[in-house]
Structure 1
């Protein structure tokens, strides 16, 4: 009997509350409401085998959204003190333990997970281990704009995303993703494809488009400093990132734009609004 998989089993016995199906060695109950009309002993039925709320093997003719070993997007139906429960198309939701979360989701979130069997032989979901399961054969080119779902914040590395929920990609760490949550779907642009097939992507527009927004945001920042920014483009990348949220290159482009438009002056290592 293959837990968490779709398989063909044979009707071995009929009872008042359903039928027992067998693989020749073990048997499992198919509840009465799931039994096909006119089914008889010896008939073969395609079913999915899982466990009920009392951890007993049971099967269904319904097809879950994910089976054992598969990865995909499921909706969070409930979060409580023991973990989260995900809608996977069956009467009993799929359990996501706290220890298998990269970030705690909220009810209604749509998150990328995989299905595994825990030490107690129960089917569960995990938000971990997705990096190795994502495809590294992207059908894209540099410059393509695609949708990508955040599945983990990688701290020192960047933000891990799955393009179209299938392909491995990462937003670099210097881009600010703090306003987003695991499960959010972003429009990103592919900036590079590594030899191993993993993609580098950006949430920023092309430089000449993004520069206008950055320049406006920088003027607002200068206003918050009473019209004088106490550092210039010569500051360290870490200072610029911390104070403006921009990479040093983006900061220099925005400063150049404002200087050409005579909206700022650059004097004594400070940027002053005109």
Structure 2
């Protein structure tokens, strides 16, 4: 089996006894570049599927050449990702992610179309779903090369980004949000997708810059 180096999100166009067939812009571009018939669908064998499929569903796959040189798809993403991230990624580096699996610990995500990592459930404060395309950060690269991910940058960098989100939300609501010390964590999560602890860190960041005013009735944007 030789790999062709292409991850792609494709649509299921038919289900047959031998497997599924896929199509989409990425496959048509690949077909054109590799002298393949552009009107032929891509085969996804049963053995390479990780869930029950339906026609019209989108799936994340890796396109590889089988033992006979035929382009084939696999949903077994981890099998085709690079295994060692120690020389590639640094802590707090911003990366592009595609969520492709959920486990008891968290969510597995494809990183920059090369590696995969894990977002831990106890550090994710918003709903995530299969094929969500999001930005994240490298939390840790372990000695064995495996990668831990996080959605918000740590420390001042994360507080600054969330602070800008708070400012934008204030601007979208005429400069006022009824958020106080007594606001439940669930409401903070609903608005910003983060824990109340991270929200308070970001609030402190923009408060020190005199961008907001904290009063008994809530949060006010300071117009300069």
Residues 177, 165 of structure 1: alpha-carbon distance in 2 compared, 3 angstrom cutoff: farther
Asked whether 1:125 is paired with 2:73, we answer: yes
- Structure 2 regions of 5+ residues with no counterpart? 16-20
| Aligned pairs (5 A) from 1:81-230 | 81-82=14-15, 83-85=21-23, 86=27, 87=30, 89=34, 90-91=36-37, 92-96=40-44, 100=49, 104-105=57-58, 111-113=60-62, 125-127=73-75, 129-131=76-78, 134-140=81-87, 142-143=90-91, 145=93, 147-152=95-100, 154=102, 158-163=106-111, 165-173=113-121, 174=124, 182=131, 188-194=136-142, 197-205=145-153, 207-225=155-173, 227-230=175-178
Aligned to 1:170, what secondary structure does the other structure show?
Answer: strand
Residues 230, 188 of structure 1: alpha-carbon distance in 2 compared, 3 angstrom cutoff: closer
TM superposition score normalised by structure 2: 0.58
- 8 Å CA contact 2:91–2:138 kept in 1: the answer is yes
Q: Separation in 1 of the partners of 2:173 and 2:94?
A: 37
Aligned to 2:86, what secondary structure does the other structure show?
Answer: coil
- Structure 1 regions of 5+ residues with no counterpart? 6-63, 67-71
Other-structure match for 1:238: 186
Asked whether 1:80 is paired with 2:33, we answer: no
Deviations 1:183-226 (A, max 9, x none): 95x77532113466421124545543443342232133235555
Deviation at 1:256, TM superposition (A): 0.8
TM superposition score normalised by structure 1: 0.50
Q: Separation in 1 of the partners of 2:104 and 2:218?
A: 30
Other-structure match for 2:18: none
Deviation at 1:255, TM superposition (A): 1.1
The size of the alignment, in residue pairs, is 196
Residues 211, 144 of structure 1: alpha-carbon distance in 2 compared, 3 angstrom cutoff: closer
1:253 aligned residue (201, 211, 214): 201
Q: Give the RMSD, CA atoms, in angstroms.
A: 4.5
- 8 Å CA contact 1:152–1:161 kept in 2: the answer is yes
Aligned to 1:271, what secondary structure does the other structure show?
Answer: strand
Q: Separation in 1 of the partners of 2:215 and 2:132?
A: 45
Larger relative helix fraction:
2
- 8 Å CA contact 2:13–2:22 kept in 1: the answer is yes
Q: Separation in 2 of the partners of 1:148 and 1:239?
A: 27
Larger Rg: 1
- 8 Å CA contact 1:148–1:161 kept in 2: the answer is no
